Amino acid sequence: MTIVPVMSLARHTFIDALRERAFVVLGLFLVVILVAARLLSPLALGEGRRVTLDVGLASVGFFGFLLVALLGTRMVHKEIDCKTILVLLSKPIRRSEFVLGKFLGLVTVVAVSLIAMLLMLAGILLTSGYEFDATLAVAGYYAFLELLIMAALAMFLTAFTSPVLSTFFLMGLFVAGHLSGSLIEMAQLLPNACAAKMLEAIFYVLPRLDLYSYTLEVVHGLPVDGGQLLWATSYAVIYSVGVLLLSVLILRSREFS
């Protein structure tokens, strides 16, 4: 693994993605949603701050996900379908470097758009006179960690399915990831111990995205827990590394013709 080709690929992936039209449309969409939250909040019977934060953070997370789903699956697949990968892999670059470069490029796109979205949200809160504190930044960081996992999964899926299928699968994983917390708890209540164990095993492999929701903490301005921050980061990083290793494994066994 060498750093130069990886960074070069990441940088140019980022530049290429920024010029994608899909990206601009997503940005517009977010503005519409946030403005809607701003307009709705007076109707929320004194719960305006809460509604703005709920809707705002939810749409930040969801648009981040859409970004990963659309850009991520399209990106890698475009490589294989449109055969840019032929040019890349004829250069002295390993498949692992290819995966990492693409992933980092995608993650940079995600990070930049998350920052932009959070700034917009903060602007809306400020102009509405609702208070917020550093927990909002932590919420943004958690959203980023969640999308890190999703980006790794996007790389993984596109390594072997079509973009439409992988977008579908990714949506499935997104939903399952958000439900997995509740489903694990339910599984423990199942009368059939064997079925319960099996369900649990499945959900141990699925990511637990529900843990990355931070709306509650922001709404109530709960203190930031440093230990939890560390666990959250390690989980996202380790899980993504595992998924990326699998993607490399798949990509190495593939032919490109």
Partner 1 sequence: MRAECDQLLILDKISKTFTTGFRRRKVPVLRDVSLTLGRGEVFGLLGPNGAGKTTLMKIALGLVRPSSGRGLLLGGPLGDLQARERVGFQPEQPYLYPGLTAGETLDLMAGLSRLSRARTAARIDRVAEQCSLGKYLRTPVRKLSRGWLQRLTLACALLSDPELLLLDEPLGGLDPEARLAVKDLILSLRAEGKTVMVSSHILPDVEALADRVALLRDGVIIASGRISELLGSGSEGVEVEIECQRPIQLPEFCTLARERVASNRARWLVPGDDPARLQHVLASLLRQGASIHAITPQRRDLEAFFTQAMERARTEAEGSAWNSVEVAS
Partner 2 sequence: MKASGTLVLALGACLSIVLAAVVRAEFAASKSRVRDETEMTLFPSGRFLREMSLGHRHLVADLGWLAAIQYYGKHRMTDRRYEMAPHLFSVITEADTAFENAYLFGALVLAEAHLLDDGARMLKEGVARNPESWFLNFELGFYHYIFMRRWEAAAAAFAAAAELPGAPEYARRFAAAAYEKTGDEETARKLWEIIATQSDNQEIRRMAEERLESLADS
- Site for partner 2, rule CB under 8 A: 45, 47, 181-182, 185-186, 188-189, 204-205, 208, 211, 216-217, 219-220, 222, 225, 227-228, 231-232, 234-235, 238-239, 241-243, 245-246, 248-249, 252
**By C-alpha distance, which of 209, 253, 246 is closest to 65?**
209
Helices 163-189, 135-158: axis angle to 10 degrees equals: 120
246: partner contacted, choices partner 1, partner 2, none (Cβ within 5-8 A by kind): partner 2
Residue 16 or 200: the one with the smaller Cβ distance to partner 1 is 16
Residue 10 or 219: the one with the smaller Cβ distance to partner 2 is 219
Query: Which residues are near partner 1 by CB under 8 A?
Result: 2, 4-5, 7-9, 11-12, 15-20, 82-84, 86-94, 255-257
7: partner contacted, choices partner 2, partner 1, none (Cβ within 5-8 A by kind): partner 1
3-state class percentages of the chain: helix first, strand second, coil last, to nearest 5: 85, 0, 15
Residue 55 or 71: the one with the smaller Cβ distance to partner 1 is 71
d(CA 59, CA 29) in angstroms, rounded, equals 10
Residue 113 or 240: the one with the smaller Cβ distance to partner 1 is 113
- Cα separation values, 160 from 73, 112, 156, Å: 11, 28, 8
151: partner contacted, choices partner 2, partner 1, none (Cβ within 5-8 A by kind): none
Residue 24 or 245: the one with the smaller Cβ distance to partner 2 is 245
Residue 121 or 211: the one with the smaller Cβ distance to partner 2 is 211
88: partner contacted, choices partner 1, partner 2, none (Cβ within 5-8 A by kind): partner 1
- How many CA atoms does the CB half-sphere of 157 hold within 13 Å? 26
Residue 26 or 99: the one with the smaller Cβ distance to partner 2 is 99
End-to-end CA distance of the chain: 25
Output the smallest distance, CB 170 to partner 1, in A.
22
d(CA 115, CA 34) in angstroms, rounded, equals 15
d(CA 77, CA 245) in angstroms, rounded, equals 18
Output the smallest distance, CB 237 to partner 2, in A.
9
Output the smallest distance, CB 68 to partner 1, in A.
18
Query: CB neighbours of 181 closer than 8 A, spacing ≥ 6?
Result: 208, 210, 211
d(CA 122, CA 133) in angstroms, rounded, equals 10
Output the smallest distance, CB 224 to partner 2, in A.
10
217: partner contacted, choices partner 1, partner 2, none (Cβ within 5-8 A by kind): partner 2
d(CA 233, CA 224) in angstroms, rounded, equals 14
d(CA 94, CA 230) in angstroms, rounded, equals 31
